[in-house]
Structure 1
């Protein structure tokens, strides 16, 4: 089964919200993504935290996976696990490219399964936010949630090569366009100027659909 066989529908499964916040007196912006999965909280929690299952929909993970321990996603972010309340909530730092942000996941039972709420809080950098908006982090999480959904519904691991090259496919581009549009609308709802949010969404789309060697420096 293709990861993004119905990209518009899949992008529409995510509810997006942007909040303005602060942490230790520093202004932040918070991207919130919610999606429901047709499985119980225990199974979803295990898929999110079991190091044998995580690579089936995301990336190989190593480290000391307990509160206070440091994790490492292969070729990607690392951080410290700050809180764990199984099977309800998890919080960790998200450290990448010399920058620290904060990620939380919460699970809530719903009628048809379990709702996952993911929040990613980043220090507010006016230039970066004005350039890419919440799509800078939101698109990646939308694609990750799609991979998780594909794995949970089929029981089959996501093909890593498909995930790496999804931006090259027509389906991937449709999904990414829908994702950046949704994040732009969420930013406007939080108070961003519409024209600025649209420009940032277009820039985020170009970033995610351009080959890494051709991307502008951020």
Structure 2
């Protein structure tokens, strides 16, 4: 999967992390579809962002373990078609499809469940566009979905795209101490905004507004280690 090509921001006016964080929530596109067949609910979350780099560099950032560790997390395993991967402290799975410089798909195995993730890299007017699609099928009306909605995974993906922005735009990477970083006021505001936006996506997908907003509030509380706002 790795093309072993690396680049990065070189502009002397490279934005700072604070500037990147302040703009991040508004430069990300989020989508959600929900369908129910019998007792099964199918959800597809989509999140995408354009970065000021080339397709080759963005692909490399998403496939080279050394770069993934800088903005996402340590990833080990056989990162080739059919290989098994493991994300430190998170999911593992199998790489099911790979079209170099274009897309890859993998199983997302976490907490005894399995879902599916596809990453696409495409050309864009202002650089290269990253798009992630996360598909899941489960019991309709499941307690976890009712409690947290799409923000449970959506906020996590938002934080990942923020890390990628730090890497490709600010030239840094994910915070060294993420637990300490998330207690800062700007980071907490970002989490609140991300959770709210996923609540809005849930409403657009057909969830009753009061249920979607309550789930978003609980998601915010979960990520910030705080009780939800009544």
TM-score (norm 2): 0.85
1:13-162 correspondence to structure 2 within 5 Å:
13-21=27-35, 26-125=40-139, 126=141, 127-161=143-177
CA contact (8 A) 2:20 2:166 kept: no
Root-mean-square deviation over aligned CA pairs: 2.2
CA deviation vs aligned residue, 1:87-129 (integer Å, no higher than 9, x gap):
1111111111111111111112111001111111122342211
Aligned to 1:160, what secondary structure does the other structure show? coil
Aligned to 1:35, what secondary structure does the other structure show? strand
State how far apart, in whole Å, the 1-side matches of 2:113 and 2:83 are: 19
CA contact (8 A) 1:37 1:114 kept: yes
Q: Is the aligned partner of 1:188 residue 2:203?
A: yes
State how far apart, in whole Å, the 2-side matches of 1:97 and 1:146 are: 24
Aligned length: 211
State how far apart, in whole Å, the 2-side matches of 1:189 and 1:156 are: 35
Aligned to 1:91, what secondary structure does the other structure show? strand
**How far does residue 189 in structure 1 lie from its aligned partner after superposition?**
0.7
**How far does residue 32 in structure 1 lie from its aligned partner after superposition?**
0.8
CA contact (8 A) 1:21 1:30 kept: no
Aligned to 1:172, what secondary structure does the other structure show? helix
**How far does residue 5 in structure 1 lie from its aligned partner after superposition?**
4.7
**How far does residue 159 in structure 1 lie from its aligned partner after superposition?**
3.2
CA deviation vs aligned residue, 1:138-189 (integer Å, no higher than 9, x gap):
000000100001111233333321x333321111110011101111111111
CA contact (8 A) 2:20 2:169 kept: no
Q: Which residue of 1 aligns with 2:184?
A: 169
State how far apart, in whole Å, the 1-side matches of 2:112 and 2:207 are: 27
Structure 2's unaligned 5+ residue stretches are 1-14
Q: For the structure 1 residues 175 and 86, does the alpha-carbon distance in structure 2 shift closer, same or farther, using more than 3 Å as the test?
A: same
State how far apart, in whole Å, the 2-side matches of 1:12 and 1:4 are: 14
